[in-house]
Amino acid sequence: QSEKAEMKEKIRRLLKEKEAVLVAHYYVDPDIQDLAEETGGCVADSLEMARFGRDHPAKTLFVAGVRFMGETAKMLSPEKRIFMPDLDANCSLDLGCPVEEFTAFCDAHPDRTVVVYANTSAAVKARADWMVTSSIGLEIVAHLHAQGKKIIWGPDRHLGSYIQQQTGADMLLWQGSCLVHDEFKGAELEMLMEKHPEAKVLVHPESPAAVVALADVVGSTSQIIAAAVNMDAPEFIVATDKGIFHKMQQAAPGKVLIEAPTAGNSATCKSCAHCPWMAMNYLSNLLEVIETEKNEIHVDPAIREKAVTSIERMLDFAA
């Protein structure tokens, strides 16, 4: 038996023994995604991960993804124990939005409703009125705009300007970005589209405006996978982290999936369409954390109390 198969077997056994569940994002190691699915956990986008963690009866969750996903699970279910393979697995959006500076930005515009993306710290969520994910941000801002609300949006400037352009809402944008999606390029994508005239283009809205403008579908990771399954096209060009191709190809077996072009080759681009923090989830550190129960997520109860309101608003809206 290979070392990998042995680790997978141990993980299956320990999850069962501990009555624990594994929740994974589409960008993590394919073996972890498969394990999550086959052991009764889930592989999902950020909104579905939050909902699954909240609703599952297990008292222990292992979250394979990045820090904000573990924190969100903990805030929604403070009575559960939440562990992650590596507590340093962060996100450029979270890192680029320190709570002190974001608070000062909000305080300077007290007449605005504060809407933050899920990819933020618990403290930033605590300063917000609403938390949203990529799958539902547009609907929520459209809803607030219809009520005449002016908005502060943070931290992803590309997702923010896409929503602003779609809804016409009055939005002040924090200038953060995702280092993975920032690398996708409109001009190169156009050239690739010429070579694949039958391909539909699926784009995550953290991508730059020039890329989003070429999309047939703009959506969260789950929405992009659903589009590849449901759209009647033989080929798809996909602008998001390449981790998505594993589940996408399983879900749409007959379709040809093509990576959207990034700024350069591996020598020049910073991320090459794979998130360095999502890549910190391995079978080995997952197994270690299940065995030892180290790397538990804790959130300051005072912060949690405020932040959970903005998260629950989204979940209630989505229900």
Q: Is 178 in the site for ligand 13P (CB under 6 A)?
A: yes
How near is the Cβ of 180 to ligand SF4 at its closest, in Å?
4
Q: Is 273 in the site for ligand SF4 (CB under 6 A)?
A: no
Site map (CB under 6 A) of ligand SF4, residues 276-295, x = contact: -xx-----------------
The one among 29, 31, 183, 206 contacting ligand SF4 by CB under 6 A: 206
Alpha-carbon distances of 241 from 73, 205, 207, 285, rounded to whole Å: 22, 12, 11, 21
Q: Tell me the C-alpha distance between 225 and 125, whole Å.
A: 28
Q: Tell me the C-alpha distance between 314 and 308, whole Å.
A: 10
SS3 content of the chain, % helix, strand, coil (to 5): 50, 15, 35
CA angle 301, 25, 283 (to 5 degrees): 100
Closest CA to 26 of 2, 42, 8, 39: 42
Interacting partner of 207 out of ligand SF4, ligand 13P, none (Cβ under 5 to 8 A depending on kind): none
- The alpha-helical segments, DSSP class H, found in the chain are 3-17, 30-38, 46-55, 67-76, 92-95, 99-107, 122-127, 137-146, 157-167, 186-195, 209-212, 221-230, 245-251, 283-292, 301-318
Q: Name the one range near ligand SF4 by CB under 6 A: 8-16, 159-167, 271-279, 283-291.
A: 271-279
The one among 75, 201, 206, 242 contacting ligand 13P by CB under 6 A: 206
How near is the Cβ of 194 to ligand SF4 at its closest, in Å?
28
Q: Is 133 in the site for ligand 13P (CB under 6 A)?
A: yes
**Pair 140, 166: CB distance under 8 Å:** no
Closest CA to 64 of 266, 284, 233, 230: 284
Q: Is 94 in the site for ligand 13P (CB under 6 A)?
A: no
Reply yes or no: is the peptide bond before residue 155 cis, omega within 30 of 0.
Answer: yes
Decide whether 137 or 261 has the Cβ nearer to ligand 13P. Answer: 137
**Pair 28, 45: CB distance under 8 Å:** no
> What part of residues 115-174 is at the interface with ligand SF4 (CB under 6 A)?
119
Instruction: Name the 3-class secondary structure at 16.
Output: helix
Decide whether 113 or 119 has the Cβ nearer to ligand SF4. Answer: 119
How near is the Cβ of 102 to ligand 13P at its closest, in Å?
18
Decide whether 58 or 159 has the Cβ nearer to ligand SF4. Answer: 159
Amino acid at 318: A
The one among 92, 164, 167, 223 contacting ligand SF4 by CB under 6 A: 92
Q: Name the one range near ligand 13P by CB under 6 A: 1-9, 79-87, 105-113, 128-136.
A: 128-136
**Residue that has been written with the tokens 């292992």 in this structure:** 62
Q: Is 86 in the site for ligand 13P (CB under 6 A)?
A: no
The one among 119, 167, 207, 271 contacting ligand 13P by CB under 6 A: 119
Task: Give the residues lining the site for ligand SF4 (CB under 6 A).
Answer: 66, 91-93, 119, 178-180, 206, 241, 275, 277-278
Task: Give the residues lining the site for ligand 13P (CB under 6 A).
Answer: 45-46, 119, 133-135, 178, 206, 220-221
